Amino acid sequence: VQLQASGGGLVQPGGSLRLSCAASGLILSTFTGSTLAWYRQTPGNQREMVAQIIPSTGTKYADSVQGRFTISKDNTRKTVYLQMNDLKPEDTGVYYCNVVIFGDDRNQLWGQGTQVTVSS
């Protein structure tokens, strides 16, 4: 099982990026029944949750990205996305996708991380 993240890059403040994370090796029912999330980490700081999709509950966002970021998924492709709009320099960091299998924190998958840099 592998999570492959992509879509990071350099963007100016106010710009947009879309991150993708493809889950290979997961059967569909596992993908749809699991919590899907994006985290980010900046130098000297702990990894923080940015956005989540929780089955039967919905989506959840960090206060700092509410209204600017949107998490979504394509079950057919077993891919989770993070649309990031109105990017700010403080959004700079390494973004990781995360799957918590059936909501069990003891059974998690992490992607390899993709760098997002917001700078003029």
Of 45 and 11, which is predicted with more confidence? 11
Residues 18 and 30: their CA atoms lie apart, in Å, by: 24
Residues 88 and 76: their CA atoms lie apart, in Å, by: 32
Give residue 44's pLDDT: 86
pLDDT-derived band of residue 81, with 50, 70 and 90 as boundaries? very high
The distance from CA 47 to its chain's CA centroid, rounded to whole angstroms, is 12
Query: At a CB cut-off of 8 Å and minimum separation 6, what does 24 contact?
Result: 1, 2, 3, 4, 78
Residues 100 and 90: their CA atoms lie apart, in Å, by: 26
pLDDT digits (tens, 9 = 90+) for 82-108: 999 999 999 999 999 999 999 898 999
